[in-house]
């Protein structure tokens, strides 16, 4: 009868030795349900410790006020980069133990993780370059934004008791003023981007 195929973790434990979690929580003396529950709690405690008291990466970002897309992306990139340090530590331990093959495999994984982080940063830079800090005046979404705010202006005029003639005059003059809005907005965004990069 053929032996059951080992997964990467089993093989790594067999090749390099491991420190079993069961020794930490002593699952041998617990019923099966309690053993699983103890293991889950132990894992949760380690995650909270890693995230400085937060239950997850998302909770840690929320606590830190990182709730817009750009901040979240950058924090996730930082998290990926931190993982490369963990991999580097494992690689150095494997090298010290004379496990050159394992060290080479870990080194390859670390290179893959770094490439992922580099691609994320490059994508962010491209977005900033093309859209002026992430805003694209040519995007169809900009039309939706304008219509939303103009509708709110119209409601305010009605609530203030302005007659329709005054409201129509405002929107006609506004339309004329906004004739070249895309070009003007792009120029303003580029100026803001250059000012931000100089500071």
Spans of all domains in the chain: 16-50, 65-131, 140-198
Buried b (16+ CB within 10 A) or exposed e, 70-109: eeebebbbeebbebbeebeebbeebeeeebeebbebbbee
Site of tokens 């580029």:
190
Q: Residue 24: CB partners within 8 Å, gap ≥ 6?
A: 42
Question: Can you tell me the distance from the alpha carbon of 126 to that of 133, in angstroms, rounded to the nearest whole number?
Answer: 10
pLDDT band with cut points at 50, 70 and 90 for residue 37 = confident
132: how many CB neighbours lie within 10 A of its CB? 19
Helical segments of 21-68, H only? 21-25, 32-50, 57-63
Across the range 159-170, mean pLDDT stands at 83
Q: Encode pLDDT of 94-129 as tens digits.
A: 999 999 999 999 999 989 888 888 888 887 777 666
Structure tokens at 172: 């006609």
Across the range 41-70, mean pLDDT stands at 80
Tell me the whole-structure pTM to 2 decimals: 0.44
Question: Can you tell me the distance from the alpha carbon of 160 to that of 69, in angstroms, rounded to the nearest whole number?
Answer: 37
Across the range 61-67, mean pLDDT stands at 75
Q: For the ranges 30-44, 50-64, 80-94, 178-192, which has the lowest average pLDDT?
A: 30-44
State the pLDDT at residue 3: 46
State the pLDDT at residue 143: 79
Across the range 27-31, mean pLDDT stands at 57
State the pLDDT at residue 125: 73
Output Rg (C-alpha) for the chain, integer angstroms.
Answer: 28
Q: Which of 79, 43, 41 is nearest to 60 (CA)?
A: 79
State the pLDDT at residue 104: 92
State the pLDDT at residue 72: 76
Please check the confidence at residue 1 and state whether its pLDDT lies above 60. Answer: no
pLDDT band with cut points at 50, 70 and 90 for residue 10 = low
Across the range 162-174, mean pLDDT stands at 84
Q: Encode pLDDT of 119-155 as tens digits.
A: 888 877 776 666 545 566 777 777 788 888 888 888 8
């Amino acid at each position: 009868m053929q032996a059951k195929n080992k997964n990467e973790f089993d093989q790594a434990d067999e090749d390099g030795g491991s420190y079993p979690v069961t020794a930490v929580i002593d699952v041998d003396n617990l019923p099966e349900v309690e053993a699983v529950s103890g293991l889950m709690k132990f894992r949760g405690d380690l995650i909270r410790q890693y995230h400085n008291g937060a239950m997850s990466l998302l909770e840690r970002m929320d606590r830190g006020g990182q709730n817009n897309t750009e901040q979240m992306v950058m924090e996730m990139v930082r998290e990926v980069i931190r993982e490369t340090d963990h991999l580097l530590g494992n690689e150095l331990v494997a090298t010290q133990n004379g496990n050159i093959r394992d060290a080479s495999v870990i080194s390859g994984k670390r290179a893959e993780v770094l490439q992922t982080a580099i691609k994320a940063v490059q994508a962010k830079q491209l977005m900033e370059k093309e859209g002026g800090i992430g805003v694209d005046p040519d995007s169809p979404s900009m039309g939706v934004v304008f219509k939303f705010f103009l509708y709110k202006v119209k409601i305010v005029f009605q609530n203030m008791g302005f007659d329709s003639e005054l409201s129509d005059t405002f929107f006609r003059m506004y339309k004329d003023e906004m004739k070249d809005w895309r070009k003007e907005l792009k120029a303003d965004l580029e100026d803001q981007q250059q000012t931000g990069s100089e500071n």
